[in-house]
Amino acid sequence: QYEPLLVEKDRTRVEIDESPLPEDLTRDDLELPDPSEPELVRHYTRLSQMVYGIDSGPYPLGSCTMKYNPKFTEDVASLPSALVHPDRSEESIQGTLEVLARLQEYLEVIGGMDAVTLQPPAGAAGEFVGIRVAAAYHEHTDEGQRDEVIIPESAHGTNFATAALGGYDVVSLPSDEGGRVDLEALEAALSENTAALMLTNPNTLGLFERDIETIAEMVHDAGGLLYYDGANLNALLGRARPGDMGFDVMHYNVHKTFATPHGGGGPGAGPVGVVSELAPFLPEPRVRNADGGYELFAPEHSIGHVHGYQGNWLVLVKAFAYIARVGDDGLTDSSAKAVLNANYLASQIEYDVPYGPFHHEFVASAGEQDAADVAKRMLDYGVHPPTTKWPEIVPEALMTEPTEIESKETLDQLAAAFNAVAEEGAEILESAPERTTARRIDQTSAARNPRLSWHALEEE
Amino acid sequence: QYEPLLVEKDRTRVEIDESPLPEDLTRDDLELPDPSEPELVRHYTRLSQMVYGIDSGPYPLGSCTMKYNPKFTEDVASLPSALVHPDRSEESIQGTLEVLARLQEYLEVIGGMDAVTLQPPAGAAGEFVGIRVAAAYHEHTDEGQRDEVIIPESAHGTNFATAALGGYDVVSLPSDEGGRVDLEALEAALSENTAALMLTNPNTLGLFERDIETIAEMVHDAGGLLYYDGANLNALLGRARPGDMGFDVMHYNVHKTFATPHGGGGPGAGPVGVVSELAPFLPEPRVRNADGGYELFAPEHSIGHVHGYQGNWLVLVKAFAYIARVGDDGLTDSSAKAVLNANYLASQIEYDVPYGPFHHEFVASAGEQDAADVAKRMLDYGVHPPTTKWPEIVPEALMTEPTEIESKETLDQLAAAFNAVAEEGAEILESAPERTTARRIDQTSAARNPRLSWHALEEE
Amino acid sequence: MNGLHATGSPYAPHTDETLTAMLEAVGADTVEDLFDIPEAVQYDGEFGIDARTERETRQLVRTILQRNADLTELLGRGQYGYYVPSVVDHLSNRSEFLTSYTQYQPEVSQGFLQALFEYQSLLVELTGLSIANCSMYDAASALGEAATLAKRVRTTSGHRVLIPELLSEGRRSTLENYVEGTDLTVETYATADGNVDLEALEEAVDETAIMIYAENPTIRGTIEEHLAEIGAVAADADALFVLGTDPIALSLLQKPADVGADVVVGDASVLGLPASYGMGLGLFATRESYLRQVPGRLVGASEDATDRRAFTLTLQTREQHIRRERATSNICTNQAWVALRTAIHAAALGPDGMIELAKRGVTRAESLAADVDALVGVKAPVHDRRHFREFVAHVDQPAKAIADDLERQGFAVHVVGEHELQFCVAGVTDDELDAFVETLEEVL
Amino acid sequence: MNGLHATGSPYAPHTDETLTAMLEAVGADTVEDLFDIPEAVQYDGEFGIDARTERETRQLVRTILQRNADLTELLGRGQYGYYVPSVVDHLSNRSEFLTSYTQYQPEVSQGFLQALFEYQSLLVELTGLSIANCSMYDAASALGEAATLAKRVRTTSGHRVLIPELLSEGRRSTLENYVEGTDLTVETYATADGNVDLEALEEAVDETAIMIYAENPTIRGTIEEHLAEIGAVAADADALFVLGTDPIALSLLQKPADVGADVVVGDASVLGLPASYGMGLGLFATRESYLRQVPGRLVGASEDATDRRAFTLTLQTREQHIRRERATSNICTNQAWVALRTAIHAAALGPDGMIELAKRGVTRAESLAADVDALVGVKAPVHDRRHFREFVAHVDQPAKAIADDLERQGFAVHVVGEHELQFCVAGVTDDELDAFVETLEEVL
């Protein structure tokens, strides 16, 4: 399978002439691919066939929660009435506002939070809102200077990057022997400079932070806020809520927990929930009930916008439909089956899983093997491999999250792939994959000699 | 690539219990596949990836007119307002009736016919209507007994089968040296027993029947009717009309000429057009304008129904949309490019093309090679092969129809595949294909030991 | 490439440059030179069909179709508007399925062949018969094909095809067209209170009968209580027992093989298609002994050159493209894509879901009958039978007037007699049924 | 399997049988035993969210959304509802694209990587800059990222980010949030008759300015006439010239590289997405020299082990999952699928189609301006500039009241001043514009 670039098949350079504008306001020409509709369709159809998606097979990427994306949610998102301009009057888009308001309520009760904004267009954007809200809150209430955010070593990379983007110094927190927050280290890290502790629970090893109440108390005693990274919320649905654990701010990854498609990297949505004290700082505009209808408003001390409008609407409406479909029972069952699946899969593979008891995901160690090579080799067995080499606390980590949608049969197939690779030698692993569209791709060449457009390829 | 049967993955036998009906009115149990929605989606997604469609690449099946199926036609066919029950009152489905009435008008003017019925659900069903209308006409107007239908040897198999289904004896007509109707043979075949001559024009060799006016006169003089098989209408769009050539009845294959998808074998639609003398015999109900609206009616001497309702509506609405989109210019351009493409492709391949000048399709001869093997081997070059071994007038026939949608580049790619295979020996050809999902499939075993359901497989 | 100002076909890819190169290659000055059409039959008129942009075309069709009234349809009588799960659309619209041709090159069509094999298997399980083809056009044409099968497999001198007097016009008339070219004749037998009148049938059957057709459920929604007896009558007369039904009914009602059915026909698109103005899917299943006489395409399992299981069209020597005038049917293009949808819908429901849907067809119809029977001026059901999915109600006022009133209030129902209406619950939600009963009460 | 009466997640495949087997394998009696949650923080409440069937859920969402009024939108100001060809939906909804993750395993993601590479190439061609990332969230966040890029690449002591006083609230406010964690400050400069006030800008710029932002077309639809001069001012001050625009505007208007732009940002989803309540696609292109400081993902060409060209995410050491707090951005999930749609839409139009669409943005806006200017009580356009796609009109009566009247008649327009309305022609058909002018005349 190989498909040329469109521009390699058919291109046209068009001069700008007979323009309604004077020449000095226009460009000279434009050279772009120029396929017929049949050729365009074939091109992208072929490209699609060179992509592995959830509909192709298991996709056990740890921390990514690759669930099945129900087809009907696509249908509701493409209803003509769903497609309105963001500058419409509130009166004329009561339907849109109602979906948003009801989704906010869903997320509030699911997370145990008092108020939710849907504006952040992704998880990292949600983190940013959380950090900005924390900053605004401290600025508003504190005299003191709080310029540090504490983050466990094993946390998602976005936590660090977000804290830095928010202007904070990052204080990195080591894990204890069991893979959880080290309370002594936390004690040492906390100070009057602490703005927040960002935590994922269960953490990236799949472990529940059992001392969460103590942690919350410690952070609060130091005057800091406790931030919940929602990447792993699927483990807890219906069984525990961040709000009940003492978290002050959290984000939800609706493209993980609420089954909206990942779309090859996005769009997602990263709504943020907060306790009532923080609600006045949320981004504007927010949606609320008013007089039997819905309206937009600006919270009193709003941090302003973090997106040009209201975020990724098409993703939000799918998440609303998903939650409305599965309801309490479905949500609670999701976490049960997600945790069962992770435990079952771990029990069937020969790689060592050093930390537990884990929930929706586990981190195995490839031991003497290179985890990245293991992943490449798993591709040859027709399955998608886990996330690799992270968290670093586990050597040659294979971070695995099957989610609730996989059957025992599929998990057995995945385990067979793990176990087949576990038996194989370095030579085979290093030359893997062999049965994929492309063979192992040279990353060094790509980075050393960046060719980022067809123009760059043609200059070669 | 291999995908088990659904039933091999997951099945459930369910007893009928707690039934609202007494036991003697119900079955005992039902055993069927029982996949989860994610598994169902993966199953059919994988199956789809094991199918070659128009969106995969060129599909030059002679006589099949495998055109690109414009995506937007799918959108209009799935409009909620398109989906109504056939027993609705006429007043409440004026939209549906209008689409049908306007499509009838389009087809009338395109074919040069006076009246059109849209009821036949496929080309062969259209032929059947044509033959039944002819029979009813003769019965109504003739005293004589007309029990023969004349069909050229090179005609589509459906012509023969349809005439037989209509109760007629088939008189087979040999071709002349040039591959066209042999006028002397026709003269000999015509008699007072002749009900009709069924003709495709251009014929299956792609040749226009130049003597069509003479043929029409001869048939009419004998008291017979002239039937036009619309399979090859794409060659003539906007350039010649069956009605102007003296044809009395014709069918249109909208899934060929008007770009509706073939759907792996169907549904299609085979509307039938007739001259005014035959209109009273068309199937009921028909649609007509009435008082600024539309109504259904039964023609005076209608043959009755040939379908439970009004045929394949979802196909008809796509055909209407296609014609409304491309208009006069698009239709006329289609035949131009279809003929150009066939001629260009023929000029680029090394196989001999014995008959011409051909139009939208040509029949090459594989010569010493087995045409069926040539086709299998072409699959290895990533393209779909032509229709093979038919018409038999050309030894080892490769009947090729690229249609107007292929670009010169794609035609060159097709020619390269033809020419590569032309150079290859019997051994390679006989073991082809090698690069497909399945290798050469044993037809004899399939027919000798028919296994037509999973039940049969399990009994083995 | 066609941007906003295309001329010619928007789907033809030729540029001026490639056009010139291609004409040169074929040695023609213009494309017109390639046409070999005598001047006398050339067409130089215009169709008068304006080309439109894609957007304008969509708008045009949408505008026309919006002239359809938005009604809640309590309509059935052979066509049902069940809810079709979203996966059916999404999967069947995968363009490899949608844009492929009949599987004459099985090596690149395995996916579709397997889907059709699974469809055939579904029907085998539902009917209990061992052979099902991979589609006919609709229930009516399948019935017609059943008669021609009867003609081929019954060597007796028989010529009579017996059908119930209660039968849809489309089916009866299509059947008559199918047998018009044979010496077969179609005759009706009487029904009693919505079911087959067994005595009348027995009287009608003699050695000249080659086929008996009955339906379960019947067109008036009654469940046929005498299937086994009808089977016995047919067997005694050496006539083919052809049973008309559908996959949802078959999920709950008696298995055709258990009552002696030789052929099962019907509309399989009750699973897979929403109400589509009568577009259907002809179900056709029969006994193994008639295998070589079956009309329509069959998909069979086989092996490929590496001995792996593979699927292919088989027994093609029955078909028109091989056997011409001696073919078992003239069918070529069939309803393959609808069969794919039916298979997907069935798998989405699973056996539990199918049985449940069938049970609800009984309970909801009978519950609606009770609800309308409670209204003054209505008696329902008319027939003292068990009902499936629909039933006939007697109304004291003229039925047509009530139906018209209901239509104005947003409901479509069948008028089946001067004082008879027919109501169907398939695809109608409970809320809609409640609203219907309320509205009916108002318009009475 | 879930039929009509599922409990639990309708998407989890477990049967009682497999559940038991799996629990046995992990040595647990119940699934609850697998949870390691201290009792004190266990949740034993209920969310109160009823489960619904798929059909009911679709009905629910449809019912809610139908509360949106059906209006013809003459709305723009950064978001445009162009017609999106049907192929864009059909191809981008191919489930391999839609349901895949970020391409961290490029060997099984070549198709998406190539599509993103083609998207990047499209932007390189449109902007004339050599680097484009494969998406940011939207125009506002891309602007924010541009400011942080300016901070990283400008080693001067500067801290001032200059933006036009005419700028959408969403963009200004988002930018301010992005720079809140830095020492940068955002300041506005004056505009003159809808364009940049060059003199005011020159005055505002000194050695403390590290970035100048301007838009073309501007939020009020005027075409900026002084791009080259702005570029020169920025270059002189060693400030980054960041230009806000979009792919359709770029098809006709000056090429950013030609006027000295260092970074181009904007909403690329004008191609590819219909009006989606503000959902967008952040366009981000810049000079090659800033390559190592670019935020967001980059797809590059490389070779696989057989030396065939292959695509991969590259320069990932800039990103958060590798570099953590020293990353060039915190972005992880981006808008890849929208970028795919944009690439498809652009290819469907081709260069001709894109230029034509852009030209119509000029001619149709100017023609509408002339039409409404002819009405008593309207002066349009307010600005004595050339316009692209939209323009501001002065109305003698209160603008809000007119807008309300128009809305009642089925048209949505922007109110941008007490006596100013803004009208946009993007995606509005000629017939709709005619009807609009008529209606405007009526409500005046």
Residues A318 and A351 in one domain: no
Residues B107 and B220 in one domain: yes
Residue C70 CB contacts under 8 Å (≥ 6 apart), including other chains = B81, C410
**Min Cα separation A437/chain D (Å):** 6
Q: What ipTM goes with this model?
A: 0.97
Residues B103 and B179 in one domain: yes
Residues A282 and A338 in one domain: no
The domain tally of chain A equals 2
Any domain includes B62: no
Of the candidates C54, C349, C429, the beta carbon closest to that of D85 is on: C54
Torsion of CA B153, B156, B159, B162, to 10 degrees: 130
Q: Say if residue D6's pLDDT is above 60.
A: no
Last residue of a domain, one of A278, A299, A325: A325
Q: D119: which 2 tokens?
A: 């998207």
Q: Specify the amino acid at residue A80.
A: P
**Among residues 360-399 of chain A, which lie with CB inside 8 Å of chain D?**
375-376, 379, 384-385, 387, 390
Set of chain A residues whose Cβ sits within 8 Å of the Cβ of B38: 54, 68, 405-406
Are residues A42 and B36, on separate chains, in Cβ contact within 8 Å?
Answer: no
Closest residue in chain A to residue B56, using alpha carbons only: A42
Choose, out of A93, A340, A348, A455, the residue to mutate when testing the contact with D (most D CBs < 10 Å). A340
pLDDT-derived band at D154, boundaries 50, 70, 90: confident
Torsion of CA B418, B420, B426, B431, to 10 degrees: -90
CATH number at residue A408: 3.90.1150.10
Backbone dihedral region for residue D48 (phi beyond 0: left; psi -120 to 50: alpha; all else: beta): left
CB atoms within 10 A of CB A190: 21
Are residues B33 and C275, on separate chains, in Cβ contact within 8 Å?
Answer: no
Choose, out of D332, D385, D405, D408, the residue to mutate when testing the contact with A (most A CBs < 10 Å). D332
Q: Say if residue D171's pLDDT is above 80.
A: yes
Residues B117 and B234 in one domain: yes
- The beta strand positions in B9-89, using DSSP E, are 11-15, 29-33
**Among residues 92-111 of chain D, which lie with CB inside 8 Å of chain B?**
95-96
Any domain includes B338: yes
Any domain includes A379: yes
pLDDT of res. D5: 40
Cα separation of A34 and C35, whole Å?
29
pLDDT of res. A1: 65
Q: Which residue is listed with tokens 């052929």?
A: C263
pLDDT of res. A145: 82
Q: Say if residue D2's pLDDT is above 50.
A: no
> For every residue of chain D, which 3-state class applies, written as one string?
CCCCCCCCCCCCCCCHHHHHHHHHHHCCCCHHHHCCCCHHHECCCCCCCCCCCHHHHHHHHHHHHCCECCCEECCCCCCCCCCCCHHHHHHHCCHHHHCCCCCCCHHHCHHHHHHHHHHHHHHHHHHCCCEECCCECCHHHHHHHHHHHHHHHCCCCCCEEEEECCCCHHHHHHHHHHHHCCCCEEEEECEECCEECHHHHHHHCCCCEEEEEEECCCCCCECCCCHHHHHHHHHHHCCEEEEEECHHHHCCECCHHHHCCCEEEEEHHHCCCCCCCCCCCEEEEECHHHHHHCCCCEEEEEEECCCCEEEEEECHHHCHHHHHHHCCCCCCCCCHHHHHHHHHHHHHHHHHHHHHHHHHHHHHHHHHHHHHHCCCCEECCCCCCCECCEEEEEECCCHHHHHHHHHHCCEECEEEECCEEEEECCCCCHHHHHHHHHHHHHHC
Handedness of CA A111, A287, D140, D92 (dihedral sign): positive
Q: Which residues of chain C have pLDDT under 70?
A: 1-7, 155-156
Set of chain A residues whose Cβ sits within 8 Å of the Cβ of B407: 10, 36, 39
For the residues D51-59, what does the mean pLDDT come to?
A: 96
Residues A230 and A291 in one domain: yes
Closest residue in chain D to residue B42, using alpha carbons only: D95
pLDDT of res. A143: 65
Residues B252 and B371 in one domain: no
Q: B68 at the A interface (CB within 8 A)?
A: yes
Residue D415 CB contacts under 8 Å (≥ 6 apart), including other chains = D399, D400, D403, D421, D422
Of the candidates D27, D41, D178, the beta carbon closest to that of A240 is on: D41
Last residue of a domain, one of A266, A300, A325: A325
pLDDT more than 90, % of chain A? 97
* Containing structural domain, residue A204: 71-325
Cα separation of A36 and A33, whole Å?
10
Residue whose C-alpha is closest to residue A288's, from A278, A299, A277, A276: A299
Residue whose C-alpha is closest to residue D379's, from D366, D392, D390: D392
Residues B238 and B312 in one domain: yes
pLDDT in tens, A344-385: 999 999 999 999 999 999 999 999 999 999 999 999 999 999
Set of chain B residues whose Cβ sits within 8 Å of the Cβ of A45: 55-56
pLDDT-derived band at B143, boundaries 50, 70, 90: low
Q: B178 at the C interface (CB within 8 A)?
A: no
Q: Say if residue B134's pLDDT is above 60.
A: yes
Backbone dihedral region for residue C367 (phi beyond 0: left; psi -120 to 50: alpha; all else: beta): alpha
Any domain includes A218: yes
Are residues C4 and D353, on separate chains, in Cβ contact within 8 Å?
Answer: yes
Are residues D83 and C352, on separate chains, in Cβ contact within 8 Å?
Answer: no
Chain centre distance of CA A259? 11
pLDDT-derived band at B460, boundaries 50, 70, 90: confident
pLDDT in tens, D302-344: 999 999 999 999 998 888 888 888 888 999 999 999 999 999 9
Residues B311 and B212 in one domain: yes
**Min Cα separation B102/chain C (Å):** 10
Set of chain B residues whose Cβ sits within 8 Å of the Cβ of D86: 70-72, 74-75
Where would I find the H helices in A230-370? 242-245, 254-257, 313-348
Q: Say if residue B25's pLDDT is above 90.
A: yes
Cα separation of C245 and C426, whole Å?
15
Residue A61 CB contacts under 8 Å (≥ 6 apart), including other chains = A384, A386, A387, A399, A401, D101, D104
Q: B205: which 2 tokens?
A: 């060799």
pLDDT of res. C7: 64
Q: A27 at the D interface (CB within 8 A)?
A: yes
Q: C421 and C413 in contact (C-beta within 8 Å)?
A: yes
Choose, out of A30, A71, A325, the residue to mutate when testing the contact with C (most C CBs < 10 Å). A71
Are residues A407 and B36, on separate chains, in Cβ contact within 8 Å?
Answer: yes
pLDDT of res. C294: 95
Q: At residue C58, what are phi and psi to the nearest 5 degrees?
A: -60, -40
Q: D206 at the A interface (CB within 8 A)?
A: no
**Min Cα separation A377/chain D (Å):** 11
pLDDT in tens, D78-87: 999 999 999 9
What count of residues does chain C have?
444
Q: Say if residue B142's pLDDT is above 90.
A: no
Last residue of a domain, one of A260, A293, A325: A325
Residue whose C-alpha is closest to residue D95's, from A323, A74, A435: A74
Q: What is the mean pLDDT of chain B?
A: 96
Cα separation of B78 and B97, whole Å?
17
Q: B356: which 2 tokens?
A: 């011409």
Q: At residue C166, what are phi and psi to the nearest 5 degrees?
A: -90, 100
Q: D143: which 2 tokens?
A: 């602007």
Residue A114, burial from CB neighbour count under 10 angstroms (0-12, 13-18, 19+): middle
Residues A268 and A336 in one domain: no
Q: B253 and B230 in contact (C-beta within 8 Å)?
A: yes
Q: Say if residue B169's pLDDT is above 50.
A: yes
Any domain includes B451: no
For the residues A213-225, what does the mean pLDDT come to?
A: 97
Q: Are strands B29-33 and B11-15 parallel, antiparallel or unpaired?
A: antiparallel
Q: Say if residue D147's pLDDT is above 80.
A: yes
Query: In terms of C-beta distances under 8 Å and separation of at least 24 residues, what long-range contacts does A217-221 make, across chains too?
Result: A217/A246, A218/A183, A218/A186, A218/A187, A218/A190, A219/A190, A219/A194, A220/A246, A221/A190
Residues A371 and A265 in one domain: no
Backbone dihedral region for residue D156 (phi beyond 0: left; psi -120 to 50: alpha; all else: beta): beta
pLDDT of res. B144: 65
Cα separation of B24 and C228, whole Å?
10
pLDDT-derived band at D3, boundaries 50, 70, 90: very low
Set of chain D residues whose Cβ sits within 8 Å of the Cβ of C94: 94
Choose, out of C83, C84, C93, C252, the residue to mutate when testing the contact with D (most D CBs < 10 Å). C83
Any domain includes B262: yes
DSSP annotation of B234: G
For the residues B123-131, what does the mean pLDDT come to?
A: 96
What are the residues facing A362 on neighbouring strands?
A400
Are residues A405 and B36, on separate chains, in Cβ contact within 8 Å?
Answer: yes
pLDDT of res. B145: 82
Q: A457 at the D interface (CB within 8 A)?
A: yes
CATH number at residue B179: 3.40.640.10
Choose, out of D108, D292, D298, the residue to mutate when testing the contact with A (most A CBs < 10 Å). D108
Residues A320 and A393 in one domain: no
Handedness of CA D71, D73, D74, D76 (dihedral sign): positive
Inter-chain CB pairs, A–B, below 8 Å:
45
pLDDT of res. D213: 98
Q: B438 at the C interface (CB within 8 A)?
A: yes
Any domain includes A145: yes
Q: Say if residue D17's pLDDT is above 50.
A: yes
Largest CA distance in chain D: 83
Q: A241 at the D interface (CB within 8 A)?
A: yes
Any domain includes A310: yes
Distances (CA, A) of A253 to A327, A390, A403: 18, 20, 15
Are residues C85 and A45, on separate chains, in Cβ contact within 8 Å?
Answer: no
CB atoms within 10 A of CB C15: 15
DSSP annotation of B168: P
Cα separation of A165 and A372, whole Å?
30
What are the residues facing B289 on neighbouring strands?
B294
Domains of chain C: 16-62 (no CATH), 72-83+350-443 (3.90.1150.10), 86-343 (3.40.640.10)
